[in-house]
Amino acid sequence: MTALSIPVHVPRGEFRDAMAHLPGAVNIVTTYGAAGQAGLTASAVCSVTDDPPTLLVCVNRSSSAAAAFLENPSVCVNTVGPRHQDLAILFGGKTPMEDRFASASWEKGASGAPVLLESVVSFDCRVAHRHVVGTHAVLFCEVLEVAIAKGEPASVYFARAFHAVSQ
C-alpha cells in the first residue's frame, strides 16, 4: 500500500480570486453587549442546523468590529437587498461605529443585538460557540427570533460586485 500525497494549500491570492466566484448573501451583522455595539458587512454566513436553529458567522479578527464580536453574547444577521447597498458598503468600510448605526433604523432584538428595520430577513441570535481559524473567528449562533420581509429582493456578492436577486 502506498502513502497518499496530500497537496499543499493553494496560494492565498488564488483562493481569494476563486472565492470571489462563490456568490454569497450580503449581510449586515450586528452585536451588542459589554464590549459595545458593533457591526460589519459579511457574506461568510450560512445555516448549520435547524435543531437547534443555528447559523455560522465568520468575522475577520483584524476588523474594527472583531473585539465586540469576540466578547458579546448577542449577534443579529440582517440580510439586505439593493435598497441597503450603501449601508452595506458603509458597514464594510472604516466608518466609525456610531456613524454606521446612525445611517439606518434599528430596534433591539430579544438577544439585545440591533435588528435592521426593513431588512430582507433578520436572524436574532445568541452566540453558542466561538472558534478561531486562521485570520477569522467562527461564531456558531443559535437563532432566537426571525423577521422576514416577504417580497423584498435580496443582494448577493459575486465577482466583487453586488447583484439583486428576487423571487
Q: How confident is the model at residue 6 (pLDDT cuts 50, 70, 90)?
A: confident
Residue 23, SS3? coil
CA-based nearest residue to 72, from 124, 123, 111: 111
Check pLDDT > 60 for residue 1. Answer: no
Burial state string for 106-133 with b = 16 or more CB within 10 A and e = fewer than 16: beebebbbbbbeebbbbbbbbbeeeeee
82-117 pLDDT, tens digit each: 999 999 999 999 999 999 999 999 999 999 999 999
pLDDT digits (tens, 9 = 90+) for 119-157: 999 999 999 999 999 999 999 999 999 999 999 999 999
What is the rounded CA–CA span in Å between residue 60 and residue 42? 9
The pTM of the full predicted model, rounded to 2 decimals, is: 0.94
43-158 — its CATH code? 2.30.110.10
